Each structure stands twice: as C-alpha cells, then as structure tokens.
Amino acid sequence: MAGKKVLIVYAHQEPTSFNGSLKDVAVAELSRQGCTVTVSDLYAMDFEPRATRKDITGALCNPEFFSYGVEVYEACKKQSLASDIIEEQRKIQEADLLIFQFPLYWSSVPAILKGWMDRVLCQGFAFDIPGFYDDGFLKGKRAILSLTTGGTANMYSKNGVSGDFRYFLWPLQHGALHFCGFRVLAPQISFAPELASEEERRGMVASWAQRLKTIWEEEPIPCSPPWYFGR
C-alpha cells in the first residue's frame, strides 16, 4: 500500500523488549509495503503525560478558575496549544492508520500513553459536541491496539478469572478511539509473552507481521455494546 502513512504510538521503556520487537516488525513490514511509518516513542521522547496549564501557551480564558477542558478547547481553536501537543496532532492528521503498541497495565494503557490520549485527543481537534463517535473529527482513519498481557489467554476468557478481554477494551476502543471517529480494527493481543517459550514468542511476532500484510483489507469491528458484552 505505497503512499499510506502510519503512526505507531509506542509505550515501553525498553527498546529490546517484546513490545519493542512487535513495534520493530511493524515498522519493517509496513515500510516494505511502501508505507511511510512514523514512531512516537513516548518514553524516549520523555513525553509529558500530565494535563496542566502549561498546555496553553496563550492567555487563559478564565485565569481565576482553571478548567482544563475549556481552556484547551479554546487554545485549540486559537492554535495556542503546547508545541508537543501540536506535533502529535500533526502526526495524527497525516496518518491513515494508528497503531498503539503497549503492555497492559491494570486493564488499561500505561500512564504515559493515557497522558498522550488526554492531552493530544482534545476537544476541537479529535471531537466536538456535537461531533463524536461516527461523527468524530478523526473519522476515516483506522486505529488498532497491539498489546501484551501478563496473564494467559485462558485468564482473559469469558469464564476466566479476569473476564473476557473485550471488557477492558470497551473504554479504550469505544470510549476513546471510536468516540474520536476512528474506524477500530480488532485488537492484536499477545498473551503472556513472559511465560511463553522463545519459539512461542517468535510465533507471536510472526503472527503480527503476517496480519500486517493484509491490514489494509480488514473491516473495522462493529463499535456497539454487543461486540463487547453480547457473547
């Protein structure tokens, strides 16, 4: 798919980690297809995860009472957001596909990635009221979560101790990505790589690389409660 642009938002501290291998194979395979691949390596960038007054470079609307959502919304319209936010938003605007690569922390994303979502996917850029879910500002773009877990696949089954893996995907895929208009692809979950053999880990990496060969042909999942809770 020559000409396509991909943004990988990568959240792991160790370049030689299993998550790092999944990121590297994605860069290699998508580049081989002729895609332009950009990586936001959040830890290497020392990305600021905290949403603070520093995210607004201009004058505040109400300096007496700080409301982050209100101030960022107005700053977005005035193009007076912090430079690191603007840079990440530029990467998103140019991308056809976003890949989020991360280890699962407490059934969610690492704090640095949550902070990226909090700060970058702001009102006025990714959505508005109205202008969310199917009408979100990022509609037409694809997004996929590629993540690793500490627990095994059996633990994340419907009758497993952690419950169906789709349960923890609801706030990430539906509440964040779909809310902003993304067409969400089924997740790529590598279960318990630390408990797997070297051969099994190589198989997981190969499975991801193989899927990426046809990623542009995939249809998005139906973003509705039955997909997550209806089984």
Tens digit of each residue's pLDDT, the chain (231 residues): 779 999 999 999 999 999 999 999 999 999 999 999 999 999 999 999 999 999 999 999 999 999 999 999 999 999 999 999 999 999 999 999 999 999 999 999 999 999 999 999 999 999 999 999 999 999 999 999 999 999 999 999 989 999 999 999 999 999 999 999 999 999 999 999 999 999 999 999 999 999 999 999 999 999 889 999 986
- Cα–Cα distances in angstroms (integers) from residue 172 to residues 150, 177, 192, 223, in the given order: 18, 7, 20, 12
Whether the model clears a pTM of 0.75, i.e. scores above it, the answer is: yes
pLDDT at residue 230, rounded to an integer: 83
pLDDT at residue 213, rounded to an integer: 98
Contact 15, 43 (CB under 8 A): no
pLDDT in tens, 54-68: 999 999 999 999 999
Per CATH, the homologous superfamily of domain 5-50+96-229 is Flavodoxin domain (3.40.50.360)
pLDDT at residue 2, rounded to an integer: 77
Length of the chain: 231
